[in-house]
Amino acid sequence: MKCFTSWQGVQKEKNSIKKVMRMKQFLTFVQKEFYHVLRDKKTLLILFGMPVVQILIFGFALSNEVKNSKIVVMDQAKDISSQKLINKIEASKYFDIEESIHSQGQIDAAFKKGAIKMALIIPAGFYQNLVHEHKAQVQVIADASDPNIATALTNYANAIVQDFQTELNTGFEMPYTIIPETRMLYNPQQKSVYSMVPGVMALVLMLLCVLMTAISIVREKETGTMEVLLVSPFKPSLVILSKTVPYLLLSFIDIIIILMMSVWLLGLPINGNIFLLLAVSVLYIITCLSLGILISIKTTTQQAAMMISLMGMLLPSLMLSGFMFPIENMPVPLQVISNIVPATWFNNIIKAVMIKGLGPSFIWKEVLILTGMTLFFLFVSLKSFKIRLA
Amino acid sequence: MPDKKMRTILFLLQKEFLQIMRNKSIRVMIFVMPVIQLIIMPLAADYEVKNINLSIVDHDHSTYSAQLISKITASSYFKFAAYNQSFREAFILVEKDKADIILEIPVNFEKDLIKENKAKVFIAANAINGIKANLGSAYLASIIRDYNMELRSKLIAVTRYNPVPVIEVPSSNWFNPLMNYYYFMVPGILAILVTMVGGFLSALNIVKEKEVGTIEQINVTPIKKYHFVIGKLIPFWILGNIIFTIGLLVAWLIYGIVPVGSLLLLYVCISMYLLAILGFGLLISTFCETQQQAMLVMFFFMMIFILMGGLYTSIDSMPNWAKIIAKFNPAAYLIELIRMVVLKGSGFKDVLPHIIKLGIFAVVLNSWAVLNYKKTN
Amino acid sequence: MSDTVIQTEKLTKRFGDFIAVNEISFSVNKGEIFGFLGANGAGKTTAMRMLCGLLKPSSGNAQIAGFDIYKQTEKIKQSIGYMSQKFSLYEDLTVLENIRFFGGIYGLSNTQISLKSKKLVDELGLQQEAKKLVAELPLGWKQKLSFSVALLHDPKIVFLDEPTGGVDPVTRRQFWEMIYEAAHRDVTIFVTTHYMDEAEYCNRISIMVDGKIEALDSPSHLKQKFKATSMDEVFYQLARGAKREE
């Protein structure tokens, strides 16, 4: 009995020594990978600069609001009322009047030069018609090569003319007026950044975890250093794993940077639980890493890994995940494909947790799907890896 | 002597073409990319606002509120999501992304309208998607306004009020009267396509020779630096034109888009632009040591070029500093040029200023690439 | 002295604080096979890259084929051939395409190119492989091909950086026969190597240690001087004192 326990003890001790050894070996490998990553300053700069620049662009440069659109005005009336209307349009933030013109032909020319987005024509006798016939016209011609902007500008012009009309009637109140009061939920200033922050995160993580990881593993294959690592007494799967650790850490730092910038620079709220947010981000990072590993195992050249990551992963994540373009607008086949893009689910989670402030009960489905995907990628990688070794 | 120069360049060209033909990745890029991008991207990148899910909360249950609601549901803009009892209930639908806009009609809507001459309705839009919220609430407001006018003219006919002047705003949409969204997106995506393929191919090219080591063998020859760069530039320039042509064909076959303007002018624009973007790629190529690095750097700039190129959001709406950056973005000029020539039929005089600017880009970027390519370290 | 084709004077290359090549002075004559020896990291490749015009020297002077190493690098390039340590012909071009390309770059006429291609392919016995991609050739043939390509434009000097690394003994022998043949035609051969038996084939050799030339003479004189029976011993005696590795 005694003998047995001591034997067990020895065995245990041996095992624990082995474990410590393994751990140490693993850390050595991880250290080597860190050297690789940290030495390339240009790449590092871009890996950290990318999310910063993206946040700046989305936060401050791009806006879904249409404003300062250049227009021309053809005033054929030239009376008090038309002048008043023009002043009112000039004063609005939506329009910048480029010039006043006198003929239909000039409108055409201005559109073709790309100088204007809309033309406004006030026909002769504007004031007369208004006073005597209680009815007048203002014509709007929009450059519909961009249909959304055309619609928006026509709407704005309409609203300004309505306002103008109401002002004309000061003195007596318009009867029976329905006043719509509009509230913009979650994003009162309609900054595009609200829908973009999750997208920026998804994109940066794709880039780091899928593209960079895959390329760095494939490069070792290409240059032949992988062989050296694989003949070492270290488990091959751990060799691969050790290559992902630096990217995991860099990704996490990138997420923190993105979140800090969103909150402090853009005033974006984190309405939900921050720890939940970080936890699901880590889950998504791991999903991406396993995808990167899979690609690296399936390809043999850097260029091939690049092509697959870019065209097969990055582009779909960008276009089909719903962060730039609404999924419900897509034709059915693309909607189906969007379901197998991990970024779609991550996008949903981030919107729900960060902006809407929802709890775990709203996102369990997405979490389950991402976990399933991760396990699937790892399983397939492990299988094909073993086949290669055998 | 000029003969000899030409010969060197011809040898370089021959070599590049042989290599390009044999490279599988490049073949895929040339023939698959345009088709995939032009077929999938416009379908996916559909910013057009449709399928707005509307949820209605009617606390009034009056004739007028019912009339208003039936007018709204009759319009094709909105998809009727639900008829909720309370705002809270409707809001949960928004949280679940089942509804985009809530219309709430308060109690006493009808009574206020008749007695007080005015009544409020509340619109709440999920503004995480700003465009949808913006356009959706504007549509809704315009339907309400229409209803308002109808109602007013009905009521005014019975009661005696002074006639009120009304201004009509008839509007027309030029260049794309059917408001076809693909007309807008496809030419833009064509520009992006040429940018991506040209940029990445040229950025990776010289770096690859560095990584493999063949550049050493070139550097010990007495070849002129600008010969070398020209020898790299021309093959990709021809390739870019081929890809653009494939793209145009796809646009015609699938979307029925035929350029309104001159085809020749279109190729003048593309040719000038290609010189600029290829110069940029080669410049990056001379700065980087590995393909991974070059690709990442190019990706970084590509992102800025595309996002700030006015493909999705108009440059006019940007703040001033961003407009200045956009002035240094060659892709922005191309996107505009293609849209002008393809959709509006702009002529040579209209596009000349942009072409000149692209020419300046081409000269500066290529000279910089030549200067920065060092045969001797 | 018109026979001197390479002449250096206190040629130096610094990378920051590190002095890779430290004031080396030597001269090489026309038609000579000059062996350039040294342990890994002694500065051989750096020195060679300076002589080829791939690197700018930090100080010192040198003349290659009568041209100044600072001002006339492009003229130097017309008169030299270079074969780098790493195989650097285009693997995705065929044998003939590579020959044609480099011939064209050096300004050979079309008739010259086709004549030389044929001769070269015949000499190397590559008739079967002429239209195959270079990537498919075994290493030994690749090396012989790069040497021939380096000689394509009849340069006065050829620089060979470890041309026989990883090549089997038979091919190595053939390679040196090619070198001798070229030297007979008065081409100067400047070669680095790690094989001491190859060093014996050279007319004169220099041995670099830590960026400096520690010995320069014919193999037999060197053996006498160091009282050694083989070049191996000479090299060992000198290189043992080296402070830097890598």
Q: Is C226 on the interface with B (CB under 8 A)?
A: no
Whether the Cβ atoms of residue B41 and residue B185 lie closer than 8 Å to each other? yes
Tokens of B115: 């007695």
Give the strand order in the sheet containing B118-126.
A177-185, B118-126, B101-105, B52-58, B78-84
The chains in contact with chain A, meaning 3 or more Cβ pairs closer than 8 Å, are: B
> Nearest-CA distance from B335 to chain A in Å?
12
> How many Cβ pairs within 8 Å bridge chains A and B?
331
Chain A hits for B322, Cβ within 8 Å: 57, 60-61
Nearest CA in chain B to C74: B222
Contact check, Cβ <8 Å, C88/B10: no
Of B10, B216, B221, the CB nearest to C84: B216
Give the pairing type, strands C4-15 and C59-64.
antiparallel
Question: Taken in order C17, C20, C26, C28, is the CA torsion positive or negative?
Answer: negative
Whether the Cβ atoms of residue B62 and residue B110 lie closer than 8 Å to each other? yes
| Domains by residue range for chain C, with CATH | 4-239 (3.40.50.300)
Which SS3 state, helix, strand or coil, does residue C53 take? coil
Contact check, Cβ <8 Å, C100/B216: no
At B1 the pLDDT is 46
- Per 3-state DSSP, what percentage of chain A is helix, strand, and coil (rounded to 5)? 70, 10, 20
Amino acid at A231: V
**Segment 19-78 of chain C within 8 Å of chain B by CB:** 52-56, 73-75, 77-78
Of C77, C107, C133, the CB nearest to B220: C77
Strand partners, B121: A180
**Segment 181-240 of chain A within 8 Å of chain B by CB:** 181-188, 190-192, 194-195, 207, 212, 215-216, 219
Is the pLDDT at A217 greater than 90? The verdict is: no
Of A66, A151, A195, the CB nearest to B317: A66
Tokens of A95: 């329009």
CA distance B250 to B254: 6
B11 closest CA partner among C100, C130, C152, C74: C100
At B197 the pLDDT is 86
Q: Can you spell out the DSSP letters for C97-166?
A: HHHHHHHHHTT--HHHHHHHHHHHHHHHT-TTTTTSBGGGS-HHHHHHHHHHHHTTT--SEEEEESTTTT
Contact check, Cβ <8 Å, A61/B183: no
> Nearest-CA distance from B375 to chain C in Å?
6
Q: Is A42 on the interface with B (CB under 8 A)?
A: yes
Q: Is B17 on the interface with C (CB under 8 A)?
A: no
Which SS3 state, helix, strand or coil, does residue C226 take? coil
Contact check, Cβ <8 Å, B125/A185: yes
Chain B hits for C81, Cβ within 8 Å: 220
Contact check, Cβ <8 Å, B128/A184: no
> Nearest-CA distance from B174 to chain C in Å?
53
A275 closest CA partner among A250, A249, A247, A255: A255
Which has the higher per-residue pLDDT, C235 or B367? B367
Mean pLDDT for each 10-residue chunk of chain B (377 residues)?
73 89 79 79 71 88 89 84 86 83 90 85 83 81 83 66 67 76 84 88 88 87 89 92 91 89 93 95 91 86 86 79 89 91 87 94 94 83
Is the pLDDT at C2 greater than 60? The verdict is: no
At B223 the pLDDT is 87
The chains in contact with chain B, meaning 3 or more Cβ pairs closer than 8 Å, are: A, C
What ranges in B75-180 are assigned the alpha helix state H?
A: 87-95, 109-115, 130-158
First to last CA, chain C: 37
Q: Within 10 A of A298 (CB to CB), how many other CB atoms are there?
A: 17
Chain B hits for C90, Cβ within 8 Å: 15, 19, 214
Q: Is B25 on the interface with C (CB under 8 A)?
A: no
CA dist list (Å): A334 to A196, B33, B349? 21, 17, 41
The chains in contact with chain C, meaning 3 or more Cβ pairs closer than 8 Å, are: B
B52-158: in CATH 3.40.1710.10: yes
Contact check, Cβ <8 Å, B10/C104: yes
Tokens of A202: 């998804």
First to last CA, chain A: 43
Write the pLDDT tens digit of every residue in A10-39.
Answer: 666 667 777 777 777 778 778 877 887 777
Contact check, Cβ <8 Å, C100/B12: no
At B236 the pLDDT is 92
* pLDDT confidence band for A371 (50 / 70 / 90): very high
Chain B hits for A147, Cβ within 8 Å: 48, 173, 176, 179-181, 183-184
CA distance B136 to B77: 8
Q: Which residues contact A211 (CB under 8 A, 6 or more apart)?
A: A292, A305, A306, A309, A310, A313, A314
Q: Say if C and A touch: at least 3 Cβ pairs within 8 Å.
A: no
Is the pLDDT at C198 greater than 60? The verdict is: yes
Q: Is A277 on the interface with B (CB under 8 A)?
A: no
CA distance B103 to B87: 9
At A10 the pLDDT is 65
At C37 the pLDDT is 87
CA distance A278 to A354: 10
Of C56, C100, C106, the CB nearest to B377: C56
Contact check, Cβ <8 Å, C93/B19: yes
What ranges in chain C are assigned the alpha helix state H?
A: 44-51, 73-79, 95-105, 110-124, 139-150, 169-184, 196-201, 219-225, 231-239
Strand partners, C160: C83, C191
Is the pLDDT at A188 greater than 80? The verdict is: no
At C12 the pLDDT is 92
Whether the Cβ atoms of residue A25 and residue A232 lie closer than 8 Å to each other? no
A273 CB-contact burial (10 Å; exposed 0-12 / middle 13-18 / buried 19+) = middle
Q: Specify the DSSP element, H or E, that contains A335.
A: helix A332-339
Question: What is the mean pLDDT of the segment spanning A294-314?
Answer: 81
A288 closest CA partner among A350, A372, A210: A210
Nearest CA in chain B to C52: B220
* pLDDT confidence band for A374 (50 / 70 / 90): very high
Q: How many degrees, rounded to 5, is the angle at CA C91 between CA C88 and CA C96?
A: 100
Q: Is B349 on the interface with C (CB under 8 A)?
A: no
> Nearest-CA distance from A11 to chain B in Å?
47
Strands (DSSP E) contained in B16-136 are: 52-58, 78-84, 101-105, 118-126
Which has the higher per-residue pLDDT, B279 or A168? B279
A165 closest CA partner among A191, A134, A124, A199: A134
Write the pLDDT tens digit of every residue in C121-160.
Answer: 998 888 888 888 988 888 888 888 999 999 988 999 999 9
A205 closest CA partner among A242, A241, A258: A258
At C246 the pLDDT is 44
CA distance A30 to C214: 42
Of A155, A177, A186, the CB nearest to B127: A186
Question: What is the mean pLDDT of the segment spanning C24-42?
Answer: 88
CA distance B249 to B239: 15
Q: Is B153 on the interface with C (CB under 8 A)?
A: no
CATH no. for A69-168? 3.40.1710.10
Which SS3 state, helix, strand or coil, does residue A306 take? helix
Whether the Cβ atoms of residue A266 and residue A220 lie closer than 8 Å to each other? no
> Domain residues of chain A, as ranges?
34-61+191-389, 69-168
Of B216, B222, B223, the CB nearest to C88: B216
Of A150, A162, A219, the CB nearest to B145: A162
Contact check, Cβ <8 Å, B216/C55: no
Q: What percent of chain A has pLDDT over 70?
A: 87
Whether the Cβ atoms of residue B130 and residue A194 lie closer than 8 Å to each other? yes
